[in-house]
Structure 1
């Protein structure tokens, strides 16, 4: 299938598909007219890329995941690299959550202080 068809089937821009190819996440054959020709499996591949991007993985991390997955295409086996990538991503996400919770507490404290200050001003002016 041509890039336009792949784009339509996956709801991903042709530009993004070219980017995935450039990053080594997706392959296409070249026709005589230099057009890209993608296999039917490209639809699933693009959907997988989109999922991993939504999970916060970089294209380099996704490439590593795909390389690990390609090691046993017919029989999924434990892949130590894949496990490490997932665990590292989870550590980063947990760290970001901790940072955001700390920021949330600080903002809540500032809001409480502001409200208390306004109440104090009202008491003084009455």
Structure 2
């Protein structure tokens, strides 16, 4: 697929896609007319890149992660700094999950309270309507 279609499918700008290719985290085949051709795996690759970017990683950090995923243990250079960075990111994500769970509990309570009030108003309106239509 061409870069425009890949952009449309993923929401990534063509500029970003070119940047990912330049950084060698998104493989592309160059056609005779110098157009880039991407295979179906590029869609998933960009979604992974977008996920990592959303977690606050830089393109360079993503490059290191993806390079590590695609190489054997003998080729992957162990880096204490990267290990610490990944641990910090994982801890931050866990913290965000806890924060979001707290927010969800509060929202669920608010929803329940609002529904309870709505039902109470509906019951009051029904009983008021029944009193007005009852023969005297």
Shorter-chain TM-score: which interval? Answer: 0.5 to 0.7
TM-score (normalised: structure 1) = 0.60
Structure 2 partner of 1:99: none
Alpha-carbon distance between aligned partners in 2 of 1:60 and 1:88, rounded to the nearest angstrom: 17
The within-5 A match list for 1:30-49 is 30-49=30-49
Deviations 1:53-81 (CA, angstroms, capped at 9, x unpaired): 01011111101110111136xxxxxxx66
Structure 2 gap segments, 5+ residues each: 73-77, 94-136
List per-residue Cα deviations over 1:96-116 (Å, max 9, x = no partner): xxxxxxxxxxxxxxxxxxxxx
Shift of the alpha carbon at 1:88? 4.0
Matches within 5 A, 1:51-66: 51-66=51-66
2:18 aligned with 1:9: no
Partner Cα separation in structure 1 for residue 71 and residue 23 of structure 2: 19
Q: Which residue of 2 is the match for residue 68 of structure 1? A: 68
Higher mean displacement: 63-72 or 40-49: 63-72
Structure 1: segments with no counterpart, 5+ residues: 73-79, 95-126
**Alpha-carbon shift at residue 90 of structure 1 (Å):** 4.8
Q: Aligned partners of 2:21, 2:15: CA distance in 1, in Å?
A: 10
TM-score of the two chains, using structure 2 as the length reference: 0.56
- 4+ long deviations beyond 4 Å: none
Structure 2 counterpart of 1:26: 26
